[in-house]
C-alpha cells in the first residue's frame, strides 16, 4: 500500500517518533491537478531534496497523477476506469485521506467530506470517519473497499476505529461497515492490506503491527485473527534492507523491521500469498484452510507453503496467468515471479522511489502503481525529509 509516512508507519511494529496528532487541524491535502508541483502550494518544511529523478527514455511508466504532499499509499481502479487513492494520517493530516483521483489529477474526498473529517468534533464517532486509511481495493464486482487500521502516526489504534468499509461506487454510499474488536486489532496492531474473495464472501487482511492474518466472514461480519506472530508473519531481523543503496535506520539506531505486509489472492481465489516486508521469503496457503474455523493455528501452520526466496517488496498482485507482481523497492523496480518460480524484471525506473501498491485495470491489461518514497522520509534520514520528487500514481501497459 502502501505507504506515505515521513516517519514510516506503513507496516511496522515499532512506534513512530514523529507523530502528528489525529486531532490537529488539517495540514495539507492533495487538491491540485497532476501538473502542479505541490498540493498545498509548497513543500513540507522538513524536506530537502536534490534533483528529482527523471524518466528513462524507454520507460513504459506513464504518470496518472502526482502529489507533493501528503504521501499516497494505495490505489484502486474500478471497471469503469475511476481511480481512487488513500493518504494515511502519518506525518501529514490530509484533508482527503481517501479520495477519487479525477482525470485532470485533482482529488475529491470520498465518499464525502464528512467521512474525511477526523478531529475533536467527531472523535466520538470513530466508525464513521477515516482515521488513518491504509488500503483501497476494488473487488471483482466493482465494489470499493477501504481498510482503516485507525492508528494515526502509528502511535496506537483509536478505540473503536479499526474497520473495513465497503462502498458502492454507483451510489457513492457506504453499504457495509465492519468494525474490529481489540481481540482482533489490538492497540499495537496495524491492519495493512486487504483482498476480497467474492466467490466465498470473505476478506483476507495482513496485520503488520504485531504480525498476523485477519480473516473476515463478510456475510456475518465476524473476524478472526490467525497465525499471530507465526514465523511467516514476522520480519527477518538478520537482514539489512536497503533503498538507494542505504540501509534503513530509524532515529533510535534500529534497523527497519516490518512484519506481514504484501498480500495477493490468486485469480481463482484458491490461494492467498503474503510476505513480511523486511524478508526475502514468500508464503502461501489455501484459502479454504483460512475459512475453516475448526483449524487451530498449529494446524494452519502445517498448511503454509514456503515458496522460497524473492526480493524484498512492499505491494503484491497476481495476474490471470498467476504471475506474482512485486514492488521491489531496493532497486527502483517492479518484478514478477512466474508460476515456476522465475524472477523477472518488468520495469526499472529511478522514479520508482519506493514503489508501493498495485492495482490492475479490470481487463488486466494495465498495471497501476504508487510510489511513496518511504526511504526518503524523516524517520530514515535523521529527521530530515529528502523527498526530491512528487509522489505518483503511474500506469503501464502489460504485454499480452
Domains and CATH numbers, the chain: 64-397 (2.120.10.30)
Percent of the chain whose pLDDT exceeds 70: 87
Nearest partner of 133 among 122, 118, 113, judged by Cα: 118
Residue with cell 539489512: 240
pLDDT grade for 50, boundaries at 50, 70 and 90: low
pLDDT grade for 316, boundaries at 50, 70 and 90: very high
Q: Residue 31: is its pLDDT beyond 60?
A: no
Instruction: State the pLDDT at residue 91.
Output: 78
Instruction: State the pLDDT at residue 394.
Output: 98
Helix (H) / strand (E) element for 300: namely helix 297-301
User: What per-residue string of b and e applies to 223-254 under the rule 16 or more CB within 10 Å gives b?
Assistant: bebbbeebebbbbeeebebebeeeebebeeee
Characterise 79 by phi-psi region: left (phi > 0), alpha (psi -120 to 50), beta (else).
alpha
Q: Residue 348: is its pLDDT beyond 90?
A: yes
Rounded-to-integer distance, Cα 160 and Cα 39, Å? 31
Give the SS3 label for residue 127.
helix
DSSP 226-294: ESTT-GGGS--TT---EETTEE-B-TTSPBP---EEEEEE-TTS-EEEEEESS-SEEEEEEHHHHT-TT
Instruction: State the pLDDT at residue 251.
Output: 85
Instruction: State the pLDDT at residue 4.
Output: 33
pLDDT grade for 12, boundaries at 50, 70 and 90: very low
Position with higher pLDDT, 323 vs 92? 323
Average pLDDT over residues 106-121: 97
Percent of the chain whose pLDDT exceeds 90: 74
Q: Residue 33: is its pLDDT beyond 60?
A: no
Total Cβ atoms within 10 A of residue 25: 8
DSSP 209-232: TTTEEEEEETTTTEEEEESTT-GG
Instruction: State the pLDDT at residue 90.
Output: 87
Lowest mean pLDDT among 32-46, 84-98, 144-158, 186-200: 32-46
Helix (H) / strand (E) element for 299: namely helix 297-301
Q: Residue 382: is its pLDDT beyond 90?
A: no
Nearest partner of 396 among 371, 370, 368, 377, judged by Cα: 368
Mean pLDDT score across all residues of the chain: 88
For residues 213 and 207, is the Cβ–Cβ distance under 8 A?
yes
Q: Residue 325: is its pLDDT beyond 90?
A: yes
Position with higher pLDDT, 256 vs 122? 122
Phi, psi of 143 (to 5 degrees): -85, 150
Average pLDDT over residues 313-329: 97
Rounded-to-integer distance, Cα 154 and Cα 88, Å? 10
Rounded-to-integer distance, Cα 279 and Cα 295, Å? 27
Average pLDDT over residues 282-300: 98
pLDDT grade for 385, boundaries at 50, 70 and 90: confident
Instruction: State the pLDDT at residue 198.
Output: 98
Instruction: State the pLDDT at residue 67.
Output: 92
Amino acid at each position: 500500500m502502501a505507504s506515505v509516512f515521513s516517519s514510516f508507519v506503513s507496516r511496522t511494529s515499532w512506534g513512530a517518533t514523529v507523530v502528528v496528532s489525529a486531532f490537529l487541524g488539517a495540514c495539507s491535502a492533495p487538491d491540485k491537478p497532476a501538473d502542479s508541483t505541490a498540493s498545498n502550494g509548497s513543500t513540507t518544511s522538513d524536506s530537502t531534496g536534490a534533483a528529482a529523478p527523471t524518466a528513462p527514455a524507454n520507460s513504459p511508466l506513464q504518470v496518472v497523477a502526482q502529489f507533493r504532499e501528503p504521501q499516497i499509499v494505495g490505489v484502486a481502479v474500478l471497471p469503469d476506469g475511476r481511480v481512487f487513492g488513500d493518504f494515511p494520517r502519518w506525518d501529514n493530516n490530509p484533508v482527503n485521506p481517501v479520495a477519487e483521483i479525477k482525470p485532470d489529477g485533482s482529488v475529491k474526498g470520498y465518499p464525502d467530506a464528512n467521512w474525511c473529517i477526523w478531529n475533536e468534533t467527531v472523535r466520538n464517532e470513530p466508525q464513521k470517519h477515516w482515521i488513518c486509511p491504509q488500503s483501497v481495493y476494488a473487488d471483482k464486482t466493482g465494489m470499493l473497499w477501504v481498510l482503516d487500521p485507525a492508528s494515526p502516526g502509528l502511535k496506537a489504534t483509536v478505540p473503536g476505529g479499526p474497520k473495513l468499509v465497503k462502498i458502492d461506487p454507483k451510489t457513492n454510499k457506504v453499504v457495509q461497515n465492519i468494525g474490529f474488536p481489540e481481540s482482533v486489532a489490538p492497540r499495537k496492531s496495524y491492519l495493512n492490506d486487504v483482498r476480497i474473495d467474492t466467490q466465498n464472501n470473505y476478506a483476507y487482511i495482513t496485520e503488520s503491527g504485531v504480525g498476523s492474518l485477519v480473516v473476515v466472514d463478510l456475510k456475518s461480519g465476524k473476524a478472526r485473527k490467525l497465525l499471530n506472530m507465526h514465523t511467516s508473519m514476522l520480519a527477518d531481523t538478520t537482514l539489512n534492507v536497503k533503498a538507494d543503496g542505504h540501509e534503513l535506520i530509524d532515529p533510535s539506531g534500529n534497523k527497519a523491521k516490518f512484519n506481514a505486509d504484501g498480500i495477493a489472492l490468486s485469480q481463482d481465489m484458491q490461494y492467498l500469498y503474503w510476505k513480511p516486508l523486511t524478508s526475502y521469503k514468500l508464503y502461501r496457503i489455501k484459502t479454504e484452510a483460512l475459512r475453516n474455523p475448526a483449524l487451530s493455528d498449529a494446524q494452519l501452520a502445517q498448511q503454509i507453503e514456503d515458496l522460497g526466496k524473492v526480493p524484498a517488496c512492499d505491494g503484491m498482485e497476481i495476474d490471470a496467468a498467476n504471475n506474482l507482481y512485486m514492488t521491489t523497492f531496493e532497486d527502483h523496480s517492479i518484478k514478477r515471479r512466474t508460476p515456476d518460480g522465475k524472477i523477472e524484471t518488468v520495469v526499472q525506473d529511478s522514479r520508482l522511489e519506493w514503489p508501493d501498491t498495485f492495482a490492475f485495470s479490470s481487463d488486466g491489461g494495465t498495471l497501476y502503481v504508487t510510489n511513496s518514497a518511504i526511504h526518503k522520509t524523516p524517520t530514515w534520514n535523521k529527521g530530515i525529509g529528502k523527498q526530491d520528487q512528487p509522489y505518483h500514481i503511474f500506469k503501464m501497459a502489460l504485454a499480452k
